[in-house]
Amino acid sequence: MLLSCALALAADPPPPVKVAIVAPAEIVPGGTAPVAIVVSVPPGWHIYWENPGQSGLPTDVRLQAQGDLASAKGDRPRPGTPSVAAGPRFPTPIRFAADGLVNYGYEGDTAFLFDVSAPGNAPVTLDAAVSWLLCRDICVAGSGVAHATIAVLAAARAPDRSSDPVAPYVARLPAAFATSGGTVTRADGTLRLTLPGPGPFDLFPSIPLEGAWAPVVTTAADGSLLVESPLPAAPDGARLVLTRGAGASRQGYVLDLTEPRP
């Protein structure tokens, strides 16, 4: 993996990157709740998506509940204790272009989502650990930690969802492609999809497919996105994130590249 900018070994340090856990105040025994690990990137700098693109390094995000570690590397929690699963889920990335290279990542406050379960009545203590490559005209590797505790309700009470602090971060995740109004077919070794406009549009494969996958991307007369390509040789869990719109109206959609199998 190339690095588009030199690692800073002897330079003024960049402004600090902050890591925080944003969690609901309470969870029901036996229930599951989303928890956000928020990484605050200083203005003018960026970190990278799970697929950083043609340079950079993926951001690694881990969340531990009472010793049970969950991460993008597939660690599994022990049964019978509070646990972390289904994460991290990455928010919709943006595209960076510099020095002839294309990268995928994030600016500003970025939240990575996990699901936390509480099978018992004891409070759930969470420890987050994040490592990143922070880039502007130089790149600086860094890491940070955060801690939080979620209370567990009595079974007779329901949690108050009227002011869920995690909801704004859940909204930043890409939605299922089925909700986009587009179409997708996999037949005769070919992937074809459409996404209604208005654009602009962009595509982000969750794994480095660029060298082996060259989709034909066009815009129809009605403003829809048209994508056609051979079915990529993608491992289980590989996804394609497509975006539509710009600014506050920009929306991401995620398509599983490996399901259903041809």
Residue 33 tokens, joined: 């709740």
State how far the alpha carbon of 186 is from the alpha carbons of 86, 174, 189, 227, 238, in Å.
27, 21, 7, 12, 15
Specify whether 52 is located in the same domain as 115.
yes
Specify whether 73 is located in the same domain as 114.
yes
Specify whether 33 is located in the same domain as 113.
yes
Specify whether 82 is located in the same domain as 187.
no
Specify whether 144 is located in the same domain as 91.
yes
For the chain, how many structural domains are there in total? Answer: 2
Residue 252 tokens, joined: 């991401």
Q: Residues 207-223: pLDDT tens digits?
A: 876 556 778 899 988 99
Cα 58 versus chain centre, distance: 11
Range of the structural domain that residue 219 is part of: 175-256
- The CATH number that applies at residue 54 is 2.60.40.10
- The CATH number that applies at residue 243 is 2.60.40
Question: Is 6 within the bounds of a domain?
Answer: no
Q: Residues 246-261: pLDDT tens digits?
A: 998 999 999 998 765 4
Specify whether 53 is located in the same domain as 139.
yes
Specify whether 142 is located in the same domain as 179.
no
| Contact predicate 39/47, CB 8 Å | yes
Q: What is the pLDDT of residue 100?
A: 85
Report pTM: 0.85
